Structure 1
Amino acid sequence: MSSVYFFEKGQGQPVVLIHGFCEIGAMWADFAEELSKNYRVICPDLPGFGNSPLEKSHLSLEELAVMLEEWMEENEIFEPIVIGHSLGGYVTLALLELMQQKLKAVGLFHSTAFADDADKKQMRNRTITFLKKNGVDKFVTSFVPQLFPEDRRKELSTAIETAVEQAKESTLEGLIAFTEAMRDRKDRTQVLEHFHGPKLLIAGTEDGSVKLEASRKQSYLFTDYFELENTGHMGMFERKGETLALIKNFCQKASS
Structure 2
Amino acid sequence: MSSISFFEKGEGQPVVLIHGFCEIGEMWRGFSNALSSDFRVICPDLPGCGDSPLALSQNSLEEIAVKLEDWMEENSIKDPIVIGHSLGGYVMLSLLELMGKRLKAVGLFHSTAFADDEEKKGMRDRTVIFLKKHGVEKFVTSFVPPLIPDERREELEQEINIAIEQAKHCTLDGLIALTKTMRNRKDRFEVLKNYSGSKLMIAGTLDGAVKIDASRKHQKAITDYFELENTGHLGMIERKEESLKIVKEFCERVVSR
> What is the TM-score of this pair, normalised by structure 1?
0.99
Q: 1:199: how far off?
A: 0.1
> Quick one: distance in 1 between partners of 2:20 and 2:178?
10
SS of equivalent to 2:144? helix
Distance 1:90 1:82 in 2: 11
What residue identity is the alignment partner of 2:168?
K
Give the 5 Å matches for 1:40-189. 40-56=40-56, 58-189=58-189
DSSP 3-state at the match of 2:203 = strand
Gaps of 5+ in 2: none
Contact 1:124 1:179 in 2 (8 A): yes
**Paired amino acid for 1:205:** T
TM-score by length of 2: 0.99
Superposed displacement of residue 150, structure 1: 0.5
C-alpha contact (below 8 Å) 1:6/1:42 kept by paired residues = yes
- Kept in 1, the 8 Å contact 2:58–2:64? The answer is no
Pairwise CA distance, 1:77? 0.2
Structure 1 CA distance, aligned partners of 2:194 and 2:204? 25
CA distance in 2, matches of 1:191, 1:127: 28
In structure 1, what residue type is equivalent to 2:28? W
Which residue in the other structure is 2:6 paired with?
Answer: 6
Tell me which residue corresponds to 1:226: 226
Instruction: For 1:194 and 1:220, locate their aligned partners in 2 and report how far apart those are by CA, in whole Å.
Output: 11
> 1:145, 1:24 → 2: CA distance?
16
Offset from partner CA, 1:178-237 (integer Å, 9 cap, x none):
000000000001101111000000000000000000001112110000110000000000
1:26 corresponds in structure 2 to 26
**Distance in 2 (alpha carbons) for counterparts of 1:38 and 1:60:** 34
| Partner Cα distance (1:56, 1:201) in 2 | 32
What residue is the counterpart of 1:217 in the other structure? 217
Q: What CA distance in whole angstroms lies between the structure 1 residues aligned with 2:23 and 2:61?
A: 17
1: distance between equivalents of 2:116 and 2:142? 22
SS at match of 1:43: strand
Report the CA distance between 1:58 and its aligned residue. Answer: 4.1
The runs of at least 4 consecutive aligned structure 1 residues that moved more than 3 Å come to none
Tell me, in whole angstroms, the C-alpha distance in 1 between the residues paired with 2:162 and 2:129: 26
Q: What code does the residue aligned with 1:229 have?
A: E
RMSD: 0.6
> Which amino acid in structure 1 is aligned with residue 36 of structure 2?
S
CA distance in 2, matches of 1:25, 1:180: 21
Structure 1 residue identity aligned to 2:24: I
2:202 alignment counterpart:
202
What does 1:228-243 correspond to in 2, within 5 Å?
228-243=228-243
Question: Aligned with 1:247: secondary structure?
Answer: helix
List runs of 5+ in structure 1 lacking aligned partners: none
Q: Report the Cα distance in structure 2 between the residues aligned to 1:247 and 1:124, rounded to whole angstroms.
A: 30
Deviation string, structure 1 residues 123-171 (Cα, Å, up to 9, x no partner): 0000000000000000000000011111100000011000000000010
Does the CA contact (< 8 Å) of 1:57 and 1:177 recur in 2?
no
Is the Cα contact below 8 Å between 2:24 and 2:46 reproduced in 1? yes
